[in-house]
Structure 1
C-alpha cells in the first residue's frame, strides 16, 4: 500500500476514534456509555486499533469504559448484548486484572448452559429490548457472541468454549447460507423452517464474513476441531466471499441487499465485507484479487468520513424486515457499529501483513 494512502488511513482512523469517544449521551446510535451490541462493536474495534497502533492511551480509554459500565453489564443477559465481553479476554491478557477473566468465564458458562437456543441448538437471537424472536437465528449473533467464545477459549485454553464457537459457526452457515448464490440470508426461522423475508442483507453478510477468519484465527492450534471440520468452515467462508465478490458494485461498495444492485449502497456492511476479504486474503483462503476489491471499498470509505470523523451511509439498527424493499427504505444514521466496522477495515491496512502485539 502506498505511503500516502497509509497516512490517509491513519488520519481517518484518528478522526473515527475521536468521534466514537465523544459519547453523545442519549443518542442510541452514538452513545458509547451503554451495554449493548452497538457500543460493543465499537469497543472491539477500539481495542483492535490500540493493539495495531500500540496506543497505550487508547487502551486506557477502553479500560475506563469497562469501569464506567460494569454495573450495566449485569443487567443484560441477552445473546445480542454479549459483544462488549469480547474485549474482556484481551484486557485480562494486557492488564492481568482478574476481574476481566472472572466475568468472561461467568458469561462464557452462561452462554454454554443457559443462553436460549433453538430446537437444533443454535443460539436464539435475544436482545435487550422487550422483543422476542422465538426460534430465530440471525447472522448478527456470530459476531456479537460467538467471537467472544473463541477469544475466551484461547485466553483460558479451555476447549469447551472453542467447541461451542465452532458448533455455532457451523449451524449459522448451515441455516443461513443460500446454496444458489453462496451469500447469507439475514435470518432463519427454525419453527417455520424458512428464511423469513429471504433478504440477503449486506451487514448480515459482513458479520459472518469478518467473524469467520477471526474466529478460526483465535482457535488455531487448539485442536478443537478435526482438520476436516476446520476445512469445511474455511470452504463455507470461501463460498460466501466468492458470492459477495460477484455482488460488489463498480464503485467498490455493496448495496444494502447485496443481490439488489439497484438498491442504495450501505457503508457499514461494505466495510465489514471488505475487512473479511483482507483477513481471508492474509490467511491464504482467497487470492490477491480480494485485497484489490477491498482497496476499492477503502477508497469510498475514506470519502465518506466527515470532518468530525462520522462515517456516513450507515443503515440504522436493523431487525429482520418483512421485504427486501424495506431494507432499502430503512433509516440511515451515524452509529457506533458503523464507526467500528470502518475502523476495523482501516486497522487491517494500518497493520499491513503482520499483526503488531502491544
Structure 2
C-alpha cells in the first residue's frame, strides 16, 4: 500500500463518528481532537485536498460554542488551525477568536515562578507550578501561528521565550533529552521520566513554531543549541526496530507509536527548515521510524501502539502500565509524519 493510501485511510477514520469514545471522539473540544485537527491541517497543506479543509472549517464552525467556555492550556490545541482557516475562508470570526485566545495567553494564562505557562487541563485537577513538555505543542504552537497571522512581534517573542524556558527547565543534562515535567515548587523533575511522547511534543513543535516566528524575531543560538542537543539525544535512543520505547531510556518498555511519529516528523521538519544540518543520521532515523510505523497502521486506517492519556506519573515504571488504544492524537501525529514523507517524495518502504 502506498504512503498516500495509508494517509487517506488514516484521515478517513478520523472523521468517523466515535461519539463517546475518549480517544477517537472528534465531536468535542480538547487536546485529543486538537492534535487530530492539527494533523489534518498538515495533511491538507501537503495535498491541497478541498475535502479536508472543508471538514476542518465545518468542524470549527460547529464547535465554536465550546470555545466560549473557560480556557485552559491543554484545550488551546484546536485553536492552532484557526489562523489557517481564516486565511483560506476569509471568515473574520476565526481571526477574531485567535486574537482573543492569544490575548488570554499573554495576559491571563497561569504561569510558574519562572514565567513558563503552567500546564492546565479540562479535567478537575490542578498541577500547580508544574511545567509539562506537552504545553509547547498544545499552546505555544497556536500562539506562534497567531503571531504570524497578526504580524505581532510581542506574541512571537513570547512563543520564543516559552520554547526556551521549556527546553531549559526540562532538559536532562546527561543525555540531552527532556523529562516529562518540572515542578517549580520543589525544583525537581518529579518522577524524572524521560517520556517519549513528551519529547515528541517538543521535537515536532519547535520547527513548526520557528517557521511562524522566524520572520518576526531573532531566533537565539541558545534555543537552537538546546534543540539540537535534544534531537541528537533522541537519535541515540532509537531502538533497533526503528521505534522508541515509551520511556526513552527503558529498552524493555513497550514501543510507542505516537511519540515515535512525532520525533521522526520533527527530525525531517527541522532539517527542511534549516534548524538541523541535513546529516544522514537524521534522514536514516526518520526513514527507519516511518518504515516501522507503517506496520502499525491497519487497513482500516487505525493506528495501533498508541499509549493513552498520560499525566506526569508517580514513577518511571508507571509509564509502562499505561494501556495502548486508538486515539486522535495518535492518528494526527502519524498523519503528520506521512504528510511530511509525501511532501519530501519518500517511497512507502514496503
Q: TM-score, normalised by structure 1?
A: 0.94
The unaligned stretches of length 5 or more in structure 1 are 1-6, 354-358
Give the whole-Å Cα distance in 2 for the aligned partners of 1:147 and 1:58: 21
- SS at structure 1 position matched to 2:242: coil
Matched residue, 2:19: 25
What per-residue deviation string (whole Å, max 9, x for no partner) do you get for residues 152-172 of structure 1? 111110111101101111110
Matched residue, 1:102: 96
Equivalenced residue count is: 344
For the aligned residue pairs, the C-alpha RMSD in angstroms reads 1.2
Give the whole-Å Cα distance in 1 for the aligned partners of 2:309 and 2:137: 15
Preserved CA contact (<8 Å) 1:315 1:333: yes
Q: Does 1:135 align with 2:129?
A: yes
Give the whole-Å Cα distance in 2 for the aligned partners of 1:173 and 1:214: 15
Give the whole-Å Cα distance in 2 for the aligned partners of 1:98 and 1:221: 23
Q: Does 1:169 align with 2:141?
A: no
Q: Does 1:344 align with 2:336?
A: yes
Give the whole-Å Cα distance in 1 for the aligned partners of 2:280 and 2:40: 27
Matched residue, 2:298: 306
Matched residue, 1:4: none
Give the whole-Å Cα distance in 1 for the aligned partners of 2:201 and 2:326: 18
- SS at structure 1 position matched to 2:320: helix
- SS at structure 2 position matched to 1:15: helix
Preserved CA contact (<8 Å) 1:104 1:152: yes
Alpha-carbon deviation of 1:283?
Answer: 2.7
- SS at structure 2 position matched to 1:137: strand
2:68 paired residue among 62, 66, 74: 74
Q: Does 1:268 align with 2:263?
A: no
Alpha-carbon deviation of 1:76?
Answer: 3.7
Q: TM-score, normalised by structure 2?
A: 0.96
Matched residue, 1:218: 212
- SS at structure 2 position matched to 1:34: coil
Matched residue, 2:348: none
Aligned positions of 1:313-352 closer than 5 A = 313-352=305-344
Runs of at least 4 residues off by over 3 Å: none
1:115 paired residue among 95, 109, 114: 109
Give the whole-Å Cα distance in 2 for the aligned partners of 1:29 and 1:221: 36
- SS at structure 1 position matched to 2:131: strand
Give the whole-Å Cα distance in 2 for the aligned partners of 1:334 and 1:72: 24
Preserved CA contact (<8 Å) 1:76 1:128: no
Matched residue, 1:281: 271
- SS at structure 1 position matched to 2:2: helix
Give the whole-Å Cα distance in 2 for the aligned partners of 1:220 and 1:240: 20
Matched residue, 2:34: 40
What per-residue deviation string (whole Å, max 9, x for no partner) do you get for residues 313-338 of structure 1? 00001000011110011111110000
Give the whole-Å Cα distance in 2 for the aligned partners of 1:22 and 1:282: 33
1:159 paired residue among 146, 153, 177: 153
Aligned positions of 1:195-274 closer than 5 A = 195-222=189-216, 224-225=217-218, 229=220, 231-274=221-264
- SS at structure 2 position matched to 1:254: coil
Give the whole-Å Cα distance in 2 for the aligned partners of 1:218 and 1:9: 27
Matched residue, 1:294: 286
Alpha-carbon deviation of 1:200?
Answer: 0.3
Aligned positions of 1:177-192 closer than 5 A = 177-192=171-186
Preserved CA contact (<8 Å) 1:79 1:141: yes
